[in-house]
Amino acid sequence: MIVEVHGLELHGRHGVNDDERRDGQSFLFDVTLEIDEPKEDTIAATVDYRQVRDIVRTVNDAESHRLLETLAATAADALIEALPIKKVRVRVRKPGIAWADWTGVTCERP
């Protein structure tokens, strides 16, 4: 079973340049989780999407990352640690780049 949370927009203080870390900017998170199929029709039998949102938000707010790669990896690790999932894929996109619609990275964890 695949669970997806796409386009989670968070304000973060990440980037190589000092002004990016000082002023912050928007980041878009796309999370794809592989889980066991729920055996019953209750929220307790699956992953609560709000919990996914909260974990990613906590990672985003906890510290400033210079690289999107380390931000995505930290979020993937936190999700794997906190939730009963088989696999996770976290894409972090940085929109509003002068020379592209966005830049981004994707991290997968088994």
Give the H/E segment covering residue 102.
Answer: strand 102-109
Which of the residues 39, 86, 87, 94 is marked catalytic? 94
Q: How far apart are CA 101 and CA 55, in angstroms?
A: 26
Contact 76, 22 (CB under 8 A): no
- Is 87 noted as a catalytic residue in this protein? no
Torsion angle of the four alpha carbons 70, 81, 79, 97, in this order, in degrees rounded to the nearest 10? 0
The set of catalytic residues is: 94
